Structure 1
Amino acid sequence: MSMTPPPGWYRDPSYPLVERWWDGTAWTDHRRQPGTLPVPLAPPERGGRGPGRAKAVALVAAGAVLVTSIVTGVLVLGRNDGSDGAAAARTTPPGTPSAPSKGRSPSVPSTTGPRSGAPSVVVDELNGITLPLPGGWVEPRDAAEDDLVLTTPGTYDCPGDPGLCRRGRVVSRTVTANAEDSPKTLAEQDIDDAANTAYDRDALGDRPYRGITSHRLLKAGSVAVAGRAGYLVRWRVRTGVGPGGYVESLAFASSVGSQAPVIVRFAFDAGADGPPLADMDRITEGIRATGDAGTGGGVGSSIGPSR
């Protein structure tokens, strides 16, 4: 009865330069480069020893001796020429990160501020005026409120009914449903509606500040606006929740078209987070007729009595 070699790596009888896995009963398709050059051992043929098997073993042994001689000669020559054979054959170890690409580096978003030359005024073409854009104010973008021309940036959660509120708003509108054209009368009639719109109920009927609890007159008087006679009324309002705010109605005649009266409404939140109250005067003083940078006015300016 013949002895069968145990499973293991053996010199491949069909290609002596590699090792092949013997599973204990037959050759598999798994091959590998030998780490060393052991004396080749081929599993015996089933059915006992025979001249064919002896010849195969002899051929394999002769091939191994030949390969060993060639490798030895290469090593000797490598030492004699002074080169470092190990360094020449060295490759990058597995897992070593490759060098960074020398291609174009990815673009980085710019972090510079607003470009120079950005507009410092907002143009209200319908009413023929421009309004200054003080620091801390922006032109509205995608705002739901009609006729909004200036606003403070960003929003916050309203303290009353759920919704988003703004710290400061400036609205410009043409008076069309009122036969009255006196700036004083228009401003006095408008201030109550301006306060309710800003701090009582919004356009959806919600009460973002739980309503107005009281108000107090801060200022009322004539003012020159865009070269025309105007009048303003300013209130301080208290609300059910939140710090309350300041509202103002500014009325004057337009300098274009039919010269219909214009109402500019201001609504500023009170408290440390609200815009400076002085911005109301700055904006009023900076209103100009479209295309006319020389006209203006402001609180206390007089260009003739308002009617």
Structure 2
Amino acid sequence: MSMTTPAGWYPDPGNPAVEHWWDGTAWTGHTRPAGTGAPTTVMAAPPPARRTGRLLAVVAAGVAALAVTATAAVVLGFGEDPPPDARNSPAPPPGTSSATAPAPAPPAASPSEDPSVVVDQLNGITLPVLDGWEEPEFGTGNLPTVATVAADPCPAASSRSCRRGSVSSLTATATGTADPRAIALGDIAEAADRAFEEDGLGVRPHGGIRSHEVVAERSTVVAGRTGHLVRWRVTTHQGPGGYVQSLVFPSSLGSESPVIVRFVLSAGPGAPPPSVMDDITRGIRPIGSSTGGGVGSSIGP
């Protein structure tokens, strides 16, 4: 009696780490990592060219140690050994073979899977992850954040570590205005307090702010949108102090709500120079964009 191979997930002969979906008549473009589903046992009729009285059976089995894996053995007729590359691979469904059905190219990584960026889905942007930076396991208030890998003991709380730099993005709320300059001027003091004053646990890692100096204020284009930045040099009661910047621009999404990107850099030895703020600004992109549409180019003094 003739039997056909039923629809199901089958290991890719060219890449055992990937499974492909067979719809009962042909391979589809759907893939998934191997071992994510239950194993499938398949009984299939041999291809027409192989009808010489030999029996073809494909058996898949296995549940082992908290992981489910699918394995298959091909048994060819009496007195004939299977080729080495088929001994640990299931026979392909009718009409296909490992030589004529190469695995499709893997899909391109989505922004959330790209290690070179951190995605802010809410505001429709990505933040670049520069060399020596990373997406920390615990961000700032659960905000999309990139930070330096390097850290130093905090000047006023040496049992704790202070990153040499960090950048976080958030949506501006309750500002009463959509003007990027007004929002940046209003946000910079709060950004400085969060970076160098008392933290959420009531600790002042830098001993608090002693004074500040405005070192930059200008219009700029970010992710294809005209925005504004304000940058302070902050002097703290303990330690080298540092830099803080509020960058504000309209989102490219929906109602174009203003986006705030806050930068914090230490001024201590080994810390990134203030110019890295401009590098990161140039690297901010709308989600799905590779160019940013003139990202970070200055349009004013």
After TM superposition, the score normalised by the length of structure 1 is 0.57
Relative to structure 1, the CA distance from residue 261 to residue 144 in structure 2 (aligned partners, 3 Å threshold; closer, same or farther) is: closer
What is aligned with 2:294? 296
Where in structure 1 do 4 or more consecutive aligned residues deviate above 3 Å?
143-146
Question: Is structure 2 residue 129 aligned with structure 1 residue 133?
Answer: yes
Q: Where in structure 2 are the equivalents of 1:97-176 lying within 5 Å? A: 119-143=115-139, 145-161=141-157, 162-176=159-173
Relative to structure 1, the CA distance from residue 138 to residue 290 in structure 2 (aligned partners, 3 Å threshold; closer, same or farther) is: same
Q: Deviations over 1:191-229 (max 9, x none)?
A: 011011101111222111001111111100100011111
Q: Deviations over 1:136-171 (max 9, x none)?
A: 111111345431410011443211145332111101
What is aligned with 2:238? 241
Q: Deviations over 1:219-253 (max 9, x none)?
A: 00100011111000000001111100000000001
Q: Where in structure 2 are the equivalents of 1:70-81 lying within 5 Å? A: none
Q: How many residue pairs are counted as aligned between the two chains? A: 186
Unaligned ranges ≥5, structure 1: 1-116, 303-307
Answer 1 or 2: which has greater helix percent: 1
Answer yes or no: is the 8 Å Cα contact 2:118–2:144 preserved in 1.
Answer: no
Answer yes or no: is the 8 Å Cα contact 1:286–1:296 preserved in 2.
Answer: no
What is aligned with 2:201? 204
Answer yes or no: is the 8 Å Cα contact 2:132–2:150 preserved in 1.
Answer: no
Answer yes or no: is the 8 Å Cα contact 1:234–1:247 preserved in 2.
Answer: yes
SS in structure 1 at match of 2:248 = strand
What is aligned with 1:216? 213
Q: Where in structure 2 are the equivalents of 1:277-296 lying within 5 Å? A: 277-294=274-291, 295-296=293-294
Unaligned ranges ≥5, structure 2: 1-112
Paired letter, 1:168: G
Deviation at 1:258, TM superposition (A): 2.1
SS in structure 2 at match of 1:282 = helix
Distance 1:222 1:156 in 2: 33
Deviation at 1:134, TM superposition (A): 1.3
What is aligned with 1:178? 175
Relative to structure 1, the CA distance from residue 139 to residue 235 in structure 2 (aligned partners, 3 Å threshold; closer, same or farther) is: same
Paired letter, 1:300: S
Relative to structure 1, the CA distance from residue 148 to residue 204 in structure 2 (aligned partners, 3 Å threshold; closer, same or farther) is: farther
Distance 2:144 2:195 in 1: 12
User: Which of 221, 227, 232 is equivalent to 2:229?
Assistant: 232
SS in structure 1 at match of 2:190 = helix
User: Which of 259, 279, 299 is equivalent to 2:256?
Assistant: 259
Deviation at 1:301, TM superposition (A): 3.6
Answer yes or no: is the 8 Å Cα contact 1:252–1:261 preserved in 2.
Answer: yes
Paired letter, 2:189: D
Distance 1:147 1:153 in 2: 17
Specify the structure having the higher radius of gyration (Cα): 1
SS in structure 2 at match of 1:163 = strand
Name the % identity.
49
Answer yes or no: is the 8 Å Cα contact 1:287–1:296 preserved in 2.
Answer: no
What is aligned with 2:99? none
What is aligned with 2:190? 193
Answer yes or no: is the 8 Å Cα contact 1:157–1:165 preserved in 2.
Answer: yes
Distance 1:206 1:153 in 2: 22
Distance 2:121 2:294 in 1: 17
Distance 1:196 1:139 in 2: 22
Distance 2:191 2:176 in 1: 19
What is aligned with 2:271? 274
Distance 2:202 2:142 in 1: 15
What is aligned with 1:66? none
Q: CA RMSD in A?
A: 1.8
Answer yes or no: is the 8 Å Cα contact 1:140–1:148 preserved in 2.
Answer: no
Relative to structure 1, the CA distance from residue 143 to residue 197 in structure 2 (aligned partners, 3 Å threshold; closer, same or farther) is: same
After TM superposition, the score normalised by the length of structure 2 is 0.58
Distance 1:213 1:203 in 2: 20
Distance 2:173 2:235 in 1: 30
